[in-house]
Amino acid sequence: MLSDRLLAILACPVCGASALRLDVEEADGDVLVKGGLGCPDCKRWYHVTDDIPSMMPPELASSLKAADQTWAGWRIVMEEFLIWRDDVWSDPERAAERRESALQMHRAFLDFCELPDEGVCLEIGCGTGRLADLVGEGVWYCGIDPLPGGRSPGKNALPELMPMPSREVSLVQAVGEVLPFVNECFDIALIAGSLDHCRDPNAVLAEAARVLKPAGRLAVLQGLSRSGKEGGVLSRLRGLASQLAGVPDPSARKTHMRTYQAGEVEALLSGLFEIEATAEHSRRLFVRATSRGAGGR
């Protein structure tokens, strides 16, 4: 069943109203199999399936069907991402390699973050929510992702080898550009490798600032692209190697909306956050910042 803690901070992504009404249609023990959340102000209705509320903006259906051109291009890139992801996590050798490299990267990232032992944490672009296993046990974890629980549209199951969290998590189907939460309700916001998948990074960061409490912690992990001749040569070599091996390009370049070089991520954050520290780790940028406060909707 949806936790009282989650229900207390959820808000309508259209009008911003809170105190949403929960209706239970089908339950299996503690799991809300089928139900909904009703907005008391604009009367919109949001489906809940297997404890995951679907709180997408009106322009983007839970199936990821885009109602306007602003999301249509993002949808195409997301389809490329799902092809690449499902292929990686269906191959035992590639899955094992990726699982280990991701675990090492995320451990280094969270060590850098210096997160508190207690608090309320939001991850934007959480996938299955597996990062929850690496935050402190005293931290309540909530994750949002346009893929509910990491599942592809129309599919009930994940790739068999895809890692899952071992602790209880609260997940919401949503996008970072329109976070379905009340103002100033999180102590921590994590964006771990998903900023370059977002349609509008500026909107995502503005929303992160809105839902963070004053002086709340934002931590970003973002891959950096190589520029100039070095990047072009390496890109062509990776593509050739992939073609010869008969597998998708391991760099997954087609699955990103944009790329970032050193300095660009900090510039994005600087308008809304005080940057405390940065570091590079295996061509990944770590940024630790504090919210300046951005007011409400």
CB 43 within 8 A of CB 21: no
- Model confidence at 114, pLDDT cuts 50, 70, 90, reads very high
Q: Judge whether residue 259 has pLDDT over 70.
A: yes
Query: What is the model's pLDDT at position 235?
Result: 44
Give which of 4, 12, 77 is closest to 45, Cα–Cα. Answer: 12
Q: In this model, does residue 1 exceed pLDDT 80? A: no
> Is the pLDDT assigned to residue 157 strictly greater than 90?
no
SS3 49: strand
pTM, to two decimals: 0.90
Q: How far is CA 3 from the centre of its chain?
A: 20
The Cα 32–Cα 281 span in angstroms is 41
283 or 249: which leads in pLDDT? 283
pLDDT value, residue 233: 41
- Which pLDDT belongs to residue 252? 57
Which pLDDT does position 27 carry in this prediction? 94
SS3 138: strand
pLDDT at 167: 94
Q: Distance between CA 16 and CA 9 in Å, rounded?
A: 11
In the numeric block, the tokens 């009008």 are attached to 15
- The mean pLDDT of the chain is 89
Polymer length in residues for the chain: 297
Six-digit token string for 239? 């593509």
Say if CB 158 and CB 151 are below 8 A apart: yes
What was the pLDDT predicted at 67? 85
User: Which amino acid is present at 83?
Assistant: I
Alpha helices, DSSP H, located in 194-284: 201-211, 228-245, 264-269
Judge contact between 206 and 291, C-beta under 8 A.
Answer: no
